Amino acid sequence: MSHSTVQTTPFSDQKPGTSGLRKKVTVFQQPHYLANFVQSIFNSLDGFQGKTLVVGGDGRFYNQEATQIILKMAAANGFGCVLVGQNGLLSTPAASAVIRKYSAFGGIILSASHNPAGPDGDFGIKYNIGNGGPAPEKITDAIFEQTKKLDTYLITDSDDVDLSKIGSSQIGNMQIEVIDPVTDYAQLMESLFDFNAIQTLIKGGFRLSFDAMHAITGPYAKTIIEQRLGAPEGSVCNAEPLSDFGGGHPDPNLTYAHELVETLYGDNAPDFGAASDGDGDRNMVLGRRFFITPSDSLAILAANATLAPGYKEGLAGIARSMPTSAAVDRVAEKLGIDCYETPTGWKFFGNLMDADKVTLCGEESFGTGSSHIREKDGLWAVLFWLNIIAKRQLSVEEIALDHWATYGRNFYSRHDYEGVDSVSAAALMAHIKNNFASIKGEIFGNYQVSDCDDFSYTDPIDQSISTNQGIRILFSDGSRIVFRLSGTGTEGATIRIYLESYEKDPSKHTLDAQEGLAELIQIANQLSEIEKRTGRSEPTVIT
């Protein structure tokens, strides 16, 4: 079977962000656009000839067409085998698990995570390396350099592959294995958690609701939660993956997963609620009329980790992204293990896990995970919570209150201002930095500024340096405000403001987070001049 060398010209906008390349579907549908980026990935790599590549995505619009292009290009470029999910589907955590289980050279994941989908929605592509994790900056930088000078790409002249049936086929000399997207992942989960204890919990009348948001996690949750753990049919809702995610915004937070929130805060609410996002790597956990922040979730999982069989020997260490609250730091201190503070982006956890420095890791953006793979993992977190509830025989709220009584509560919230004009957003950040010198030592109400900086990180494993990772305003009592521009959107800019204050007094632990942080919120708005500079009087999303 022959292949073609296609003449092309570079695109100027193919610099990968923290989670690969994300653009509107219409951008990816331009002639040569996807192929250019895929060829740039291959051109940046060495030693993959004859090796195995994993391919799959979250099923959003353009997933099928993109998968076929990648298969034909992988064959033309010399890969020996591709493992591809049935119908082109693989959740991001499952893709990482498959890469690791089969010792693949790497993988290409098609997803724009929690961004909306459909013909007018978003699409994304990223490369994961052989450890199953996102490509580090040295590789994404190399990919970007290739995009700027690419003039040809290779593609096999062949018909599309039938991805609807599990089994083997060929494109030229390359073998294609269409695999069940759920099987390997489900087996991994069963090795980590006490499924028998969770089954007994559910049989005893424990009720749960999992909202898959018409995204990729639906088949995984149906198989594991309903079929293997015995939850009644319908416990997993919005379970069918749709190319437009049912017209919703597949971001598991209090705003976009409002149906689940209404269920858990309504009459006859179930005992437990959870949601996952577009590609299955994020999670939200709720009890009956009780919300668990992702920062608290990481801390509670760490404090109770040995209750799960996969973690019964304890934790090597813990890592969290800088904007994530310091709640887990207190757990690490009590356990006598290290806690690492990294920039935002899961790739920064990979080196620590590969060096056996950490077992659990998490980000405040509804992502938690462990060394079982090299991605955050939404359903894994849900199963971990169910394991803890089954062992402790306490409600979600009781577990949280007990945790706060032991460690104190880190009141925490994130205010997102989405779709802000990029120039205005950059000017706001510059304004805060320009005032560093003038606000140090200043008193704002009950808070005194002790320091302020733009967070930088030196990787303790490879000594790589990452700068400009978020503006921090630190106060003398340990409270802080963090400002960041998000790199996960496709239009405008998202300004994220993170607010954190520690409270040891148990009598105050039941306060609403926004009430507990009210004064810090006012200070953040004052320091940033956000309404004046963006015209926004309220955040788009509060979590």
Say which residue the tokens 């304890």 belong to: 314
Cα distances (Å, whole numbers) of residue 410 to 192, 222, 517 = 29, 34, 10
- What is the Cα gyration radius of the chain? 23
Catalytic residue among 113, 158, 297, 370: 113
CA distance 466 to 364: 19
Q: Are 391 and 384 in contact (CB under 8 A)?
A: no
Active-site residue, 19 included: no
Task: Dig out the tokens for 375 from the structure.
Answer: 């991605």
Q: Give SS3 for 384.
A: helix
Q: CA nearest 61: which of 277, 279, 246, 244? A: 244
Say which residue the tokens 């990482």 belong to: 96
Strands (E), 288-383: 290-292, 317-321, 338-342, 360-363, 367-370
CA distance 350 to 336: 22
What SS3 string covers 9-60? CCCCCCCCECCEEEEEHHHHCCCCHHHHHHHHHHHCCCCCCCCEEEEEECCC
Q: Give SS3 for 232.
A: coil
Q: CA nearest 171: which of 42, 65, 81, 43? A: 81
Q: Give SS3 for 397.
A: helix
Task: Dig out the tokens for 147 from the structure.
Answer: 């995009």
- List, as one string, the DSSP characters of 100-134: HHTT-SEEEEE--TTS--STTSEEEEEEE-TTSSB
CA distance 58 to 292: 26
Q: Give SS3 for 172.
A: coil
Residues annotated as catalytic are 113
